[in-house]
Homo-oligomer: A and B are copies of this chain.
Amino acid sequence: MEAVKATAEGTTTIETRKVKAFGTEASTAPLQPLNIQRRTPTPYDVEIEILFCGVCHSDLHTVRNEWHGTVYPCVPGHEIVGKIVSVGSHVRKFKTGDLAAVGCLVDSCRQCDYCKDGLEQYCEKGNTGTYNSPDKYLGTRTYGGYSESIVVDEAFVLRIPENLDLAATAPLLCAGITTYSPLRHWKVKSGQKVGIVGIGGLGHMAVKLAKAMGAEVIVYTTSPSKFEDAKRLGADDVVLSKDESQMQRYAGKLHFVLDAVSAQHDINAYLRLLRVDGSLALVGAPEHPLPVAAFSLIPSRRSFSGSMIGGIPETQEMLDFCGKHNIVSDIEMINIQEINEAYEHLLKGDVKYRFVIDMKSIKR
Tell me, yes or no, whether A291 is within 8 Å of chain B by CB. Answer: yes
Chain A stretch 279-334: residues in CB contact (< 8 A) with chain B:
279, 282-286, 288-308
- A276 and B306 in contact (CB under 8 A), knowing A268-B289, A285-B298, A291-B291? no
In angstroms, Cα B295 to Cα A291, docked, is: 14
- Which B residue's beta carbon lies closest to that of A122? B276
Chain A stretch 242-296: residues in CB contact (< 8 A) with chain B:
267-268, 276, 279, 282-286, 288-296
Q: Is the CB of B291 within 8 A of A301?
A: no
User: Which of A298, A302, A304, A307 has most B Cβ within 10 Å?
Assistant: A298
Tell me, yes or no, whether A119 is within 8 Å of chain B by CB. Answer: yes
- Which B residue's beta carbon lies closest to that of A67? B295
Q: Is the CB of A295 within 8 A of B299?
A: no
In angstroms, Cα B268 to Cα A180, docked, is: 26
Tell me, yes or no, whether A185 is within 8 Å of chain B by CB. Answer: yes
Tell me, yes or no, whether A114 is within 8 Å of chain B by CB. Answer: yes
In angstroms, Cα B298 to Cα A284, docked, is: 9
Residue interface mask A141-153, B partner, CB < 8 A = 1: 0000000000000
What's the nearest-Cβ distance from chain B to residue A68, in Å? Answer: 12
Q: Is the CB of B304 within 8 A of A305?
A: yes
Residue of B283, B285, B297, B305 near A306 (CB, 8 A) is B297
What's the nearest-Cβ distance from chain B to residue A174, in Å? Answer: 14
Q: State which size class the interface on A falls in.
A: 20 to 34
In angstroms, Cα B275 to Cα A114, docked, is: 10
Residue of B119, B268, B300, B305 near A303 (CB, 8 A) is B305
Chain B residues whose CB sits within 8 angstroms of the CB of A297 once the complex forms? 282, 304-306
Chain B residues whose CB sits within 8 angstroms of the CB of A282 once the complex forms? 294, 297-298
In angstroms, Cα B297 to Cα A283, docked, is: 10
What's the nearest-Cβ distance from chain B to residue A284, in Å? Answer: 8
- A302 and B305 in contact (CB under 8 A), knowing A289-B292, A290-B294, A294-B285? yes
Q: Is the CB of A301 within 8 A of B292?
A: no
Q: Is the CB of A303 within 8 A of B304?
A: yes
- Which B residue's beta carbon lies closest to that of A293? B289
In angstroms, Cα B305 to Cα A165, docked, is: 41
Chain B residues whose CB sits within 8 angstroms of the CB of A286 once the complex forms? 294
Residue of B290, B294, B305 near A301 (CB, 8 A) is B305
Q: Is the CB of B114 within 8 A of A276?
A: yes
Interchain residue pairs with CB less than 8 A apart (9): A122-B300, A267-B292, A286-B294, A288-B291, A289-B293, A290-B293, A296-B306, A301-B305, A304-B304
The 10 A-B residue pairs with the shortest CB-CB distance in the complex, in nearest-first order: A297-B306, A298-B306, A289-B291, A303-B305, A303-B303, A285-B294, A122-B276, A289-B293, A304-B304, A298-B308
